[in-house]
A and B are shown apart, each in its own frame.
Chain A
């Protein structure tokens, strides 16, 4: 009872603040609304028993990316921002058409998956339910994740870490003062 109430509260907050976020004209408030959206999404991940993903979302997106966004906003030129905001208000403009195509594609995808899944459970879900291979709220998911990362998924894991290392070195190189030139 309380769980479903919390779920709908988080979902409602996420959807409403996301709608408000794209509608609002004040960029600073929009950035802080993004924080609300990300936080509510993290709450929804908890309902899927993905506690690690939920916390990582807060740590990386709220604690890192969002702060960088706000920093960039605060340090950027006011006229440049005003230029960005003065887009065409007409309904049939180019950005609107692209958005419309994306929205229709995404909606039809969701409707299709709802129609095909609501009639019968996919085979693999029914199979693992019968075998009892399910994640329970009391399981130690972190331990399983750690083992999986270092054994089954060690190659993708290492490739991602090499990529992150490359971006770090690139960022350090770009921000360095060019002394002998």
Chain B
């Protein structure tokens, strides 16, 4: 019985975290947009506009349910749930601190890759169910982009997994700090197993993993349909993309899913490449900074801080770079990122054989 209660409480906790994060992130996004465009952003509601997003949510919740009369009612109604559930399930295998993980499975990384691909089905449901040309075009664009960019994401993750030799996200995080069960080498020559800190992160364990992380970051931006890859919802051409017809609480779910996806890819990149819950502070002689800043509370704090920093970079990029054209987008994917990812995969194999063993 206690197990059952935990199995119910953990998803509730994750859900409330996602909801809180979305509230905070929308406010941060608008403030960052304001800063980049040299204006103030929301200022009226509350001190510095702090409760602006709460007001927005209240407005969304009390809106009327509108279903277009020609829409496929069932598909239209369940599409937001499918999209959100796909992203939400992904959080079940992400570690927050040493052994503090909802489901410690041996297939964690593979599971996330599979579950996130369900997202595409939900988008197709929304586009088809709306019975609107703009929605359909938007969803077709979104899918062609997501399916193409799943390849560089997958290849870059394979390149990292060839170094880690495990798909368990908890073990992957363990391999990047002072608690590592194996020897860690900074760039392959300096033993940093006792030093830990930023030097033990995967991006510094092999020089090509820095490039791999860049590929992963760019492709993950496209996976969550963020600018500069937000062609699926290009307002000037497609009104709102696949969510043109959605309003009220259904739109709130789509919105929640988008921000949850941003956080999911950020935390996934953090766990695999940026040390997960390990502290960035190294041990310097008798100054045991890494030993002092590792633990349950510290782990959660580091994971959150790093992921929020990555989300901040995503927002900064959104308001800095212009949107790509559709052909430029696919050229970048197929002619730059995928060959580069293949090369990195080959280097990973050689690195594992020649340097680590």
Contact = CB atoms under 8 A, between A and B. Distances in A.
A41 interface: no
Most chain B beta-carbon neighbours within 10 Å: one of A28, A55, A66:
A55
Contacts of A26: 72
Interface in B117-161: 117-118, 120-121, 124-125, 128, 136, 140, 143, 147, 150
B309 interface: no
A32 B123 CA distance: 12
B143 A71 contact: yes
Contacts, number: 63
B65 interface: no
B132 to A, nearest CB: 13
Query: Looking at chain A, what size class is its interface with the partner chain?
Result: 20 to 34
A140 B168 CA distance: 10
A143 to B, nearest CB: 8
Contacts of B125: 32
A93 to B, nearest CB: 30
Given A67-B143, A71-B143, A142-B167, A58 B118 contact: yes
Interface string A38-62: 0100000000000110011011001
B113 interface: yes
Main secondary structure of the interface of B (DSSP, over half): helix
Interface of B: 4, 72, 74-75, 105-107, 110-111, 113-115, 117-118, 120-121, 124-125, 128, 136, 140, 143, 147, 150, 167
28 contacts: A2-B4, A28-B72, A28-B128, A29-B74, A51-B106, A51-B107, A55-B107, A55-B110, A55-B111, A55-B114, A58-B114, A58-B118, A59-B113, A59-B117, A62-B114, A62-B118, A62-B121, A63-B114, A63-B117, A63-B150, A64-B117, A67-B120, A67-B121, A67-B143, A67-B147, A70-B121, A74-B140, A143-B106
